[in-house]
Structure 1
Amino acid sequence: MKLPQVLAAALLTGALLAGCSSPHGSSPGSVSSVSPGPDEGEITPSASVTATSPATGTFTPSDWPTRPVTADKIPTGLSNAAFAKGYTGADYLARLTKRWHISLSSKKKTDFRADDDRPVVWFSSGAAHPTASTELSVTVVWSLDGNLKSLTCAASRTATARTDFLGQCIQLDHPGAHPGAAAHWLRTTTPDVDKVYDQAKKTVDSPLYRSGPAASLLVEYDTGKTGAMYSLRIFGVSS
């Protein structure tokens, strides 16, 4: 199954976060240095790491850098999980897509190759185009038993509404969420990601924001056609 870049990356986020899983070689990684407060944000990171994985190929969020970095400087594997048993995100997704005039496709199962060991999941996606050259999109991944595993919102950097759109996305109401702290993290992280991206001209991954059973990540990359794009991913973590 050939998938658009953002959708393919979102499906990887819903199954296994790994190196080169995001557009143009980015992988979702790193831990934020912003600390909103106890139980509202970050975990304490370990010493700096390289992109070379250990023999197990498994990382935890605490293994990742504390500042935005290019994709080649982050670990290459993180198992993830559903946010919580029984949490589908249905009400939140209905509000989000209605506000931004995005129609989600019907749920479909992934059909990975027979030799692909990623778990099969449900997914749905949709997009709106505020202008001919900009895009706002949503991709959702659920486990086969219906529990939400990840939400990915993508927005063109030049889209006039992208700040409000991503600001609503980051406030996903998963168990253990702290919407105000999450919004603060996004506001303070985005300029830092922009700075590194503008200097490196490569895909850049933000630090991770942690809240309850979830982690959030902002990736900036070049679409090759319409310029820079943000991909904001919120996903359950298994460690």
Structure 2
Amino acid sequence: MTDAPVISVRGEAVLEAEPEIARVSVQVQSQEGDRRKALDGLVARNAACLDLVRSYGEAVERVETGGLSVVPLLKYRRREGDIRAYQGTAWIKLTVADFTVLGELLTRLGDLERASVLGPEWALRPGSDVYERAARQAVHEAVARARGYAGALGCRLTGLIELSDEGLGASDGMPQPMLVRGFAGAAEAGDGPETLALEPETQTVRAAVEARFTVTAPDLDPR
């Protein structure tokens, strides 16, 4: 173990960037008195939703089915009774990369019969270079801070003992999603709703590191 003096510092960085993707959740439902009809209705509405999404081509980067359920709805909640209907639900998760079509897509999805749309949730890609830039800036901040302390003590940095990454984090603010629902009797083709105007939410990325440096003997002469 070295007997050289040590300076420990923390470096931080906060970067703002435009979002790169938008995540959207779509829920389609059917409800019928017959189980098979409820399932057939769900299949048809799920297919209609997927056809609409796929018509946007590469603008929608990823399409995933989040789950499916067909459940009986009872006449009485607190005791077993006759089934009054069957309800089918399917969840579809979308990742949209082209924001120029996002407002139109959300509007058209929300106009589908018995469809609910939740989104957009703005985000950076998991491998975005914004995270790397934030980490590098945090390291530079740690080095600059250590040099500042060393200069104040009349010494200089001689080596790095440890560099610890505290991790990267996106903005702590919770997204405020939009909810759009389509119901039976929605507007017919050619008479759809106006396209929603959307403004992408700025993304905030935070990075922090802790570092320990060895330094030369400080000049503590009060003169």
Which bin holds the TM-score, normalised by the shorter protein?
under 0.3
* Greater RCO (Cα-Cα under 8 Å, separation 6 or more): 2
Q: Which structure is larger by alpha-carbon Rg, 1 or 2?
A: 2
- When the two structures are superposed, what TM-score results if normalisation uses the length of structure 2? 0.21
- When the two structures are superposed, what TM-score results if normalisation uses the length of structure 1? 0.20
Query: In proportion to residue count, which structure has more strand?
Result: 2
